[in-house]
Amino acid sequence: MLNEMMHRPVVMETVVKFMRESQLPFQGQVAEIEAYANERGIPIIPHETAKFIDFFCATIQPQQILEIGTAIGFSASLMAQHLKTQGHLTTIDRYPEMYERAKANFAKQDLNDRIELLEGDAADILPSLTGNYDLIFMDSAKAKYIEFLPECMRLLKMGGVLIIDDVFQGGTILDDEKEIPKRVRKIHRKLNELLQLVLPSKNHRSCLIPLGDGLLMIRKEKETSEF
């Protein structure tokens, strides 16, 4: 039977507006960080993506979380709420101004004993980590995703999940590279390489979710970093 919805836009602006306005707001410091970022144009995950990650973390209740791309600590603060009693979150950012703001935000929430904030390039830090993470959330330099992927898969425990944010490049991911502005062609090319590597793979389970600028989720199902 023909499904006419298959031929309509996946997420219309009215639906995005509905998702952002109809779902319950966050509370406390998490809400304050979200508002602070949105008022100043600081890049954080949009509300509908945050609600999904909040729901997902509440469901799996991770013990160990790794985040690549802290910004001012919004998503880390959100995920840390769902850590088990002895749980721990490690988050990495290479920008000093973001590092300092995130550090202050974690301190306000008394999260310093539960969140380890590392300053530096993920390319240098990831190889030094020992892993066994239940959840890894990657929201950093888009052209670097495919470079960081093997380390992320190494660091995931069996059955662990990697969530990669912003994989649709503003909806242009399927456009011809010649139509992409030169300044972002590398990102376009690297994101396509990532999707072409991950989606056909039978080593690990994956799916795409049209929230925000697109989420790619990968579940580790074999003791290999290869796809």
- Which residues fall in the annotated binding site for S-adenosyl-L-methionine? 45, 75, 93, 121-122, 139
Per the structure block, which two tokens stand in for 218? Answer: 């990968």
Cβ atoms of residues 156 and 225 within 8 Å: no
Binding positions are 45, 75, 93, 121-122, 139
Query: Which distant-in-sequence residues (6+ apart) come within 8 Å of 62 by Cβ?
Result: 79, 82, 83, 84, 87, 133, 134, 135
> How far is residue 90's CA from residue 7's CA, in Å, rounded to a whole number?
41
Distance (Å) of CA 98 to CA 53, 101, 133, 155: 21, 5, 24, 24
Cβ atoms of residues 191 and 173 within 8 Å: yes
Per the structure block, which two tokens stand in for 151? Answer: 């380390």
